């Protein structure tokens, strides 16, 4: 069965410094992996998606993630944090179609950005 | 355009009331989803519709009744809810279930309070 683990429940950075949100996955086959962001009292917005085309995936708002099969990781990074990046971030893996094609969410990482 | 709309934004209802949540997308997506999200938790899948037919029911209590009248519209009918059903209800849609079609796009959610 597939699963994701977000290694930090809360990350705090200063504005202008790099962001690193960590995610490990478990999957028997090449997975589909996603990062979604949720701002307070909002729905989820897709940041980026990995589907085996390229290991370094670029997303919106300057975010990117690198798929590392040997480490079963899919960490999210951004070179310079902005105040508007403060939000909840979810790492997500998609189960295979014969398992319902469901999204399996990590528990989330809350990102705080200090001025 | 990747917009999913949901109405109402907020809903307060008593335990004896009947109400409905509405979700709409005009992207031609053939799969639609209902999720429930409690505070500080990831979304939990409730229902999946594929080509207007219910394909997944995650053992949701019968006081929640989904309906897909057409390919653009998804409703969630609520009856005799309990206070623990208070949550953010998210709708999502995707083109399909595999490959480039699998990405789910989320609406802003309906914040439900059951008194």
Residue B32: per-residue pLDDT: 94
Reported as a single tens digit per residue, the pLDDT across B39-98 is 989 999 999 999 999 998 999 999 999 999 998 999 999 999 999 999 999 999 998 877
Residue A102: per-residue pLDDT: 84
Reported as a single tens digit per residue, the pLDDT across A40-99 is 888 999 999 998 778 899 999 999 999 999 999 999 999 999 999 999 999 999 877 666
Q: Which residues of A touch B41 (CB under 8 A)?
A: 107-108
DSSP characters for B19-81?
A: EEEEEEE-S--SEEEEEEE-TTS--EEEEEEETTEEEEE-S--TTEEEEEEETTEEEEEEES-
Residue A29: per-residue pLDDT: 77
> Taking CA atoms, what residue in B is nearest to A106?
B42
CB-based contact B98 A46, cutoff 8 Å: no
CB-based contact A101 B97, cutoff 8 Å: yes
Q: How far is A92 from chain B, CA to nearest CA, in Å?
A: 10
Is the minimum CB–CB distance between B51 and chain A shorter than 8 Å? no
CB-based burial label for B70 (10 Å; 0-12, 13-18, 19+): exposed
């Amino acid at each position: 069965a597939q699963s994701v683990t977000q290694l930090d429940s809360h990350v705090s950075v200063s504005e202008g410094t790099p962001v690193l949100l960590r995610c490990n996955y478990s999957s028997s086959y090449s997975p589909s992996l996603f990062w979604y962001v949720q701002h307070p009292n909002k729905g989820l917005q897709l940041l980026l998606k990995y589907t085996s085309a390229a290991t370094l995936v670029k997303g919106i708002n300057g975010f990117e993630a690198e798929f590392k099969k040997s480490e079963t990781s899919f960490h999210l990074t951004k070179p310079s944090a902005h105040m508007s990046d403060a939000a909840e971030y979810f790492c997500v893996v998609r189960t295979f179609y014969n398992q319902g094609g469901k999204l399996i969410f990590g528990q989330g990482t809350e990102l705080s950005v200090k001025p | 355009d990747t917009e999913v709309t949901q109405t109402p934004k907020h809903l307060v209802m008593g335990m004896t009331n009947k109400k409905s949540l509405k979700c709409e997308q005009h992207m031609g997506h053939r799969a639609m989803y209902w999720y429930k999200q409690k505070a500080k938790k990831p979304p939990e899948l409730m229902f999946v519709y594929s080509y207007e037919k219910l394909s997944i029911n995650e053992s949701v209590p019968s006081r929640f009744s989904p309906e897909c009248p057409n390919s653009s519209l998804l409703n969630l009918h609520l009856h005799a809810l309990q206070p623990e059903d208070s949550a953010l209800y998210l709708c999502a849609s995707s083109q399909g279930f595999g490959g480039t079609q699998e990405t789910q796009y989320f609406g802003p959610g309906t914040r439900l309070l059951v008194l």
